[in-house]
Homo-oligomer: A and B are copies of this chain.
């Protein structure tokens, strides 16, 4: 799919070994309105510092996003910030825009100096490779430990939206990070775009868990350049953006390293949506629940323990739990076990403390996860 006014590209700049794509570019032929959410981790990597500054300086108008994989430019101090700026300035000179019209993002090993010379040397090639509809190269250029590129596209009336993501940085946060970039040719004012993005991220990227870790480089950006000339109703755009983000976020969970099962948790009967999500995230990050799912054990005691551990006060301690639609009880244990043996598992938790609900996605916890993360050496 092509998104009017946008081009993308990726090249092998030698940041990663093996000649794989590791430098990517998103380019808009006109200023695009930008909205962004950044990691909540206390330690914020250099590219996020620079991108936040540029967004503020330039009133959330963005022309391009430069992304590298293979090096996170995190825990690199002032030198890291200068390195990010040097790369952005080289790109600005090449495309003839101001440096503060460009965002920058990095993902890869923490604590190593960014290979600035390699990046600068590759920028002319990167710019000349720009073309419309090049989403797969973009998605590949930002991959680290991902095994598949993650792309989602949709039409919103006559406008279009597309996004790429990489992750999960939670699995290898020294191979930081969870990144996602979304572009649309719809016309969206900044405040509306930012509100829609925050809503969508809460429902998607903030509703997944592989192992509960955040990273220094997490970043989601949406650019709306209005090239389609279409001004969408706010709620219609928000709904499409949310669906797109959920598609990308669940693709990250499905690619969770060591994972053998994809798990959808539905929490109902909660006092608020936020409470439902907090409870869901608590279940999603419980190693005991995740190992039970791996072992196909309908262990509701662990789920109840995780609900109680989430810190959300509940009016009633009544809980009904359904696995693949089967209500858990002593007599349904075998049926529930069969449902848990499938590759896709749905667990529904029905509380008796309100009418709010939320969905959260996670994967199981396997020996594979331990092996990958124990054997991996810095």
Task: Give the residues in chain B near A174, CB-CB below 8 Å.
Answer: 299, 301-302, 305
Q: Report the Cα distance A245→B362, complex, angstroms.
A: 36
Give the shortest distance, in Å, between A215 (CB) and chain B (any CB): 6
Q: Report the Cα distance A286→B211, complex, angstroms.
A: 8
In-complex Cβ contact of A376 among B109, B297, B312, B369 (8 A):
B297
Contact with B along A201-231 (1 / 0, CB 8 A): 0000000000111111000000000000000
Task: Give the residues in chain B near A40, CB-CB below 8 Å.
Answer: 311
Task: Give the residues in chain B near A301, CB-CB below 8 Å.
Answer: 74-75, 109-111, 173-174, 176, 378
Interface of A is mostly: loop
Binds B, one of A20-28, A148-156, A184-192, A287-295: A287-295
A304 with B370, Cβ < 8 A, contacts A295-B377, A298-B378 known: no
Task: Give the residues in chain B near A43, CB-CB below 8 Å.
Answer: 304-305, 307-308, 317
In-complex Cβ contact of A42 among B77, B292, B308, B366 (8 A):
B308
A322 at the interface (CB under 8 A from B): no
Q: Do the beta carbons of A41 and B374 come within 8 Å of each other? A: no
In-complex Cβ contact of A110 among B286, B305, B333, B369 (8 A):
B305
Task: Give the residues in chain B near A109, CB-CB below 8 Å.
Answer: 301
Q: Report the Cα distance A170→B370, complex, angstroms.
A: 19
> What is the total number of copies of this protein in its complex?
2
Q: Do the beta carbons of A214 and B309 come within 8 Å of each other? A: yes
Task: Give the residues in chain B near A373, CB-CB below 8 Å.
Answer: 287-288, 291-292, 295
Give the shortest distance, in Å, between A288 (CB) and chain B (any CB): 6
Q: Do the beta carbons of B294 and A333 come within 8 Å of each other? A: no
Q: Do the beta carbons of A312 and B42 come within 8 Å of each other? A: yes
Q: Report the Cα distance A146→B40, complex, angstroms.
A: 38
In-complex Cβ contact of A213 among B75, B306, B376 (8 A):
B306
A117 at the interface (CB under 8 A from B): no
A313 at the interface (CB under 8 A from B): yes
Q: Do the beta carbons of A308 and B110 come within 8 Å of each other? A: no
A297 with B42, Cβ < 8 A, contacts A173-B288, A306-B213, A309-B213 known: no
Which partner residue on chain B sits nearest A174 by CB separation? B301
A310 at the interface (CB under 8 A from B): yes
Give the shortest distance, in Å, between A319 (CB) and chain B (any CB): 8
Q: Do the beta carbons of B377 and A213 come within 8 Å of each other? A: no
Q: Do the beta carbons of A211 and B288 come within 8 Å of each other? A: yes
**Residues of A322-378 whose CB lies within 8 A of B:** 333, 365-367, 369-371, 373-378
Residue from A77, A295, A333 whose CB has the most chain B CB atoms within 10 Å: A295
Q: Report the Cα distance A304→B214, complex, angstroms.
A: 11
Q: Report the Cα distance A313→B306, complex, angstroms.
A: 27
A sample of 9 cross-chain residue pairs with beta-carbon separation below 8 angstroms, ordered by A number, consists of A40-B311, A75-B304, A111-B301, A287-B373, A288-B373, A295-B374, A295-B377, A333-B378, A366-B370
Besides the known contacts A212-B286, A216-B308, 6 further A-B residue pairs in the complex with CB atoms under 8 A apart: A42-B311, A43-B304, A43-B307, A213-B288, A294-B374, A366-B370
Using CB atoms and an 8 Å cutoff, list the residues of chain A in contact with chain B: 40-43, 74-75, 77, 109-111, 170-174, 176, 211-216, 285-288, 291-292, 294-295, 297-302, 304-314, 317, 333, 365-367, 369-371, 373-378
